Amino acid sequence: MLHKTGIPTIEQVKDQFPEQSKLSKPKAIIECYEDIPCNPCETSCPFQAIIIGPDINQQPKVDFDKCTGCTICVTSCPGLAIIVAEVHHPHAIIKIPYEFLPRPQKGEVWHAVNRSGEIVGDANILQTLVSRRQDRTLLVSIQIDSSLVYEVITIRRKHA
Ligand code: SF4
Ligand code: SF4
């Protein structure tokens, strides 16, 4: 499915997540499924929590025991392929890179959108931060239903 449509299956997405118990703290989730010569995620992480290794074409892996959820890698990735997720039932908090206009504002409620572009629920905008390294990439913290943590990848503005 991934190679035909560019959309990973839910099993492929879950493979990128740590076990549930580790999601009580924020963890980087990397969805970088191609062997490409790229490594800003690895070099930007101050905790050496992302491993690509000597072959730059290898896909990155997260050492979830080292990852603090600091989000530096999220805005360092040119492919917008990294989010940070944590779960506190009944909610999950996801930090996503966002580069569209208009920008979401704290306190707004936007649509939560899955990897197929479908609306799957509400996303409460908790915080927006402009990266010091990459000012076109907004880091948006959203609160969603925890049952959607493997589904939601971005947000879409609700029509007024
Ligand atoms: S969130 Fe921070 S600690 Fe975790 S992998 Fe990314 S840069 Fe490293
Ligand atoms: S920086 Fe992004 S696109 Fe490049 S290897 Fe890391 S996750 Fe993949």
Centre of ligand 1 to C-alpha 4, Å, is 30
Residue numbers of the domain that contains 15: 2-156
pLDDT at 5: 75
pLDDT at 74: 96
Q: Is the beta carbon of 69 within 6 A of some atom in ligand 1?
A: yes
Sequence-separated (6 or more) residues with CB below 8 Å from residue 53: none
Ligand nearest to the CA of 79: 2
Q: How far apart are CA 47 and CA 155, in angstroms?
A: 29
Q: How far is residue 40 from each of residues 18, 21, 52, 67, 146, measured CA to CA in Å?
A: 21, 28, 10, 16, 30
Q: Is the beta carbon of 64 within 6 A of some atom in ligand 1?
A: no
Ligand nearest to the CA of 73: 1
Q: Is the beta carbon of 45 within 6 A of some atom in ligand 2?
A: no
Centre of ligand 1 to C-alpha 134, Å, is 16
Centre of ligand 2 to C-alpha 91, Å, is 28
Q: How far apart are CA 30 and CA 130, in angstroms?
A: 20
pLDDT at 61: 97
Q: Is the beta carbon of 38 within 6 A of some atom in ligand 1?
A: no
pTM of this structure? 0.95
Q: Tell which residue, 129, 8, 11, has the closest CA to residue 74.
A: 129
> Domain tally for the chain?
1
pLDDT at 136: 80
Read off the pLDDT of residues 66-89 as tens digits, 9 standing for 90 and up.
999 999 999 999 999 999 999 999
Using 50 as the pLDDT threshold, list the residues of the chain that sit under it: none
Q: Is the beta carbon of 152 within 6 A of some atom in ligand 2?
A: no
pLDDT at 160: 67
